[in-house]
Amino acid sequence: MSLSNSLSADRSIRFRRCARATLLVAIASFSASAFAQQVPIIQPGAPGQDSRELTAAEATNLATLEYVEADVRFMQGMIAHHQQAIEMSDLVPDRAQRESIMQLAERISLSQDDEIALMRDWLEERGEPTELPAGGHGMHHGRNHTGLMPGMITDEEMDRLEAAEGAEFDSLFLEFMIKHHEGAVAMVEDLLDQRGSAQSSVLFEFANEVTSDQTAEIERMELMLAGFSPDPRVNLAAGFQDAGQASMNMNLVAALSKPEGFYDPENPAGLPMSRVRALASGGQQVAAEDDDEEAEPRPSLLDFANTDLAFSGNQVVAGNYHGFNIYNIDNPVSPQLLASVVCPGGQGDVTLFENLLIMSVEQTRGRLDCGLQGVADTISDERFRGLRIFDVSDITRPRQVAAVQTCRGSHTHTVIPDPNDDSRILVYNSGTSVVRDGEELEGCANDNPFENPETSRFRIDVIEVPLARPQDARVVNSPFIFSDPNSGVLAGLWEGGDHGPGTQRTAETNHCHDITAYPELGLAAGACSGNGILLDISDPENPKRLDQVVDTGFAYWHSATFNNDGTKVIFTDEWGGGSRARCRAQDPDTWGADAIYDIVDGKLQFRSYYKLPAPQSEQENCVAHNGSLVPVPGRDILAQSWYQGGISVVDFTDSSNPVEIAFFDRGPIDEEELVMGGYWSAYWHNGYIYGTEIARGLDVFELTPSDYLSENELAAASLLSSGGIVNVQTQSRLEWPADPVVARAYLDQLQRSNVIDAGLAAALNDALAQADSALQSGNSNADAVQQLSNLAASFASAANDSSGATQRRYNGLADTLEGIAARLQ
């Protein structure tokens, strides 16, 4: 046996010796008592209360209260739990590829076999059976209600493990054993929650050692599992401004730190104060000073967190829990700060429309006057929660002109131009927080919808903003878009809870987190806590639900993005709320992921999941978050943020087979603690990807040509430069100009798919070269016109014989050639 094996196995032997030593000490003490002098036996009272005397019988009776039923069930359950770990480890010698897995399995078998002996001894000494009662597969009062104890793998998962070999087995073994160990830790937590449990010193010591040892082993296994990945994003060095970086097919061209006033100057990274003290003392943990009552409390990181982005031509607004910052991006590689506006209240999501800037405010500290002091009173006229509206005619001095109060504040919002009235816009407001008191805002009610049909939950707000008089903005409708159309029940969608064994616990659907609108198509997609929904917004003041879906792996439906054709929608799952490490090697690749749906006859049809493929560490909050389309003709491509998982660029042209084609990532902010950070949003704008980094600032990226994305495709995407307003949650149809580079982009795609005849491709290149020359000279070219028209007809014919993406590309190419020919006439 190796030294490490011996040390690991010695732990449980130590418990057995401890138990026997305790018994021997008790016997020795009893034998010696015959010769000891007798004095009063004292039992102290609670602080400030008198002590009392006990008789010897009373003292002895107290000592007999050693265990309760929960202790017995814990030991019985842990025996079965350990037995499965040994069964899993027994599979290793014949299947594992790596020596490290074999050593790990040996340690597990040795230690858990000896712990089983300890637990059986403990039970037998008390006359208790060593197995759970018949049918008792779970723990009483436990958090797991699936029929298995926490962390135990199912028969189907055991079959998968038995069938695997080599590298596949190694990864699967670690994933299942991490889950198994986490279950053991959960069982200890369940035990300690039970009244009167773990009074036995031996059992209490054993339970705590299970927690500490298995937690440490989980960390080792996570590092092993992450180390199996060759991805350069794995194990990047930590640092605030000097973290390690990894990228593929994209370059970081600008990185701006947060401006002054938007970070704590004494703790710019937002580290926990315990970590700040530890670093100041050379890495040693230092207790907090309890006697400094006058010390100013330090702000939390989220008080200064960067949030969403909105664009207006060569300007970008970066929202923040503390207000917002406006940058000039006329030169994207060197953005210039134009204005910093302090107006706290979170979450600070922003949109633009003409000369108006709209900001979401949800927290109870928000004030009408943008003050920093918060609001102390439970009910106050000074509190603001809802939509702030600013006049940004002078971009350097925004002025608040309206404040629309709402019952649940505003977490996010979506601007909807009114197709029938261009004098106003409508705003869909999504509040996710607590309902405010009716005394503070009339009409607010946090009631059960079955008891009060006017509850402020289970609805969204539709807010009208008159463009000429934004100060008159008001709520004009609060539709119950989650109601059951047949029964009229307001709480008509997902009621909360899990979906059965091995599934997520999904939030109740009583609000939307985010709504993305596609007004030209009369559609909106709502990511609404427990459901993804599709809305008909042809009458935008009165949205109607068309369809809804649930997903057994989604914890919290967060955001949505349509493809350009409006035939697909990507929903994201914010498992863990964005503040947890949820991209670790052992995390399910369908949880905290994207779910891709096709829209067929007004219904959502699931096609696939996509999740960041690079394992992240315990120190990195990571889950699917905000993104936008990269406008490459003929393809569906999404640039997406993953918090501290970085930015991923994904091709989802084939809904059933999404593929990552570019990425950028940094290491964690801190090597010891999970500090909230990473990318909140990653949006394409005018040829670049802009990312709001929660803790660090604003980053700008440029995609580079690769096997996945050609120079022509990137040039075609950059043709769609917008000089107007871009709010990502309000999508509009992208239309590419009739330009030779667009035709070449389609040609690159057809050649990459190996579906176009080489002779036809050569003829197209010749025709486009002639077209380029004629367009640059400004002269017409009849020969080029005829050649382009003939080729367009050929490609239109090829489209009729094709399907899917190939058909779209042939049609797009034919239309582009016809457009170029028209320009040359």
pTM exceeds 0.85 for this model: no
Q: Tell me the C-alpha to C-alpha distance, in Å, between residue 216 and each of 229, 485, 588.
A: 21, 52, 21
The token pair that represents 563 in the structure block: 């493809």
258, exposed or middle or buried, with CB in 10 Å at 0-12, 13-18, 19+?
A: buried
Rounded Cα gap, residues 742 and 181, in angstroms: 54
For residue 61, what are the contacts with CB-CB under 8 A and spacing of at least 6? none
- Cβ(247)–Cβ(666) below 8 Å: no
- Chain mean position to CA 139: 31
- Cβ(621)–Cβ(643) below 8 Å: yes
Rounded Cα gap, residues 651 and 804, in angstroms: 15
Nearest to 188 by CA among 203, 169, 170, 178: 203
> Helices (DSSP H) in 33-165: which residue ranges?
56-63, 69-90, 92-95, 99-125, 155-163
**What is the strand order of the sheet 336-342 is part of?**
336-342, 323-328, 315-320, 306-312, 725-726
Give the bridge partners for 604, in sequence order: 599
- Cβ(446)–Cβ(456) below 8 Å: yes
For residue 674, what are the contacts with CB-CB under 8 A and spacing of at least 6? 580, 581, 618, 619, 620, 621, 668
For residue 60, what pLDDT is reported? 58
> Parallel, antiparallel, or unpaired: how do β-strands 637-641 and 250-257 relate?
unpaired
The token pair that represents 19 in the structure block: 């138990």
CA-based end-to-end distance of the chain: 86
Rounded Cα gap, residues 147 and 157, in angstroms: 15
Rounded Cα gap, residues 602 and 523, in angstroms: 10
What phi and psi values does residue 9 have, to the nearest 5 degrees?
A: -70, -30
Residue type at position 319: G
Give the bridge partners for 318, in sequence order: 309, 325
Task: Specify the DSSP class assigned to residue 383.
Answer: B
CATH number of 3-32+59-227: 1.20.1260.10
Rounded Cα gap, residues 315 and 170, in angstroms: 50
Nearest to 809 by CA among 749, 719, 720, 754: 749
H helices, E strands: number in the chain: 14, 34
The token pair that represents 699 in the structure block: 């980053």
- Cβ(689)–Cβ(250) below 8 Å: yes
Q: Tell me the C-alpha to C-alpha distance, in Å, between residue 739 and each of 427, 729, 732, 764, 821.
A: 36, 28, 21, 13, 10
For residue 46, what pLDDT is reported? 77
What phi and psi values does residue 696 have, to the nearest 5 degrees?
A: -100, -45
Rounded Cα gap, residues 769 and 158, in angstroms: 61
> Parallel, antiparallel, or unpaired: how do β-strands 679-685 and 626-629 relate?
parallel
Q: What mean pLDDT, rounded, does the chain reach?
A: 90
- Cβ(409)–Cβ(365) below 8 Å: no
| Torsion angle of C-alpha atoms 77, 82, 87, 90, degrees rounded to 10 | -170
Q: Domain 245-284+299-329+337-368+382-419+455-726: which CATH class?
A: mainly beta
Cβ count near 671 (within 10 Å): 12
Which parts of the chain register pLDDT below 50? 1-34, 62-63, 136-146, 288-297
For residue 37, what are the contacts with CB-CB under 8 A and spacing of at least 6? none
**What is the strand order of the sheet 356-361 is part of?**
347-353, 356-361, 386-391, 399-405
- Chain mean position to CA 242: 24
For residue 587, what are the contacts with CB-CB under 8 A and spacing of at least 6? none
For residue 311, what are the contacts with CB-CB under 8 A and spacing of at least 6? 317, 352, 683, 685, 690, 722, 725, 726, 727
Rounded Cα gap, residues 577 and 305, in angstroms: 15
For residue 419, what pLDDT is reported? 94
* Ranges assigned E (strand) in 103-218: none
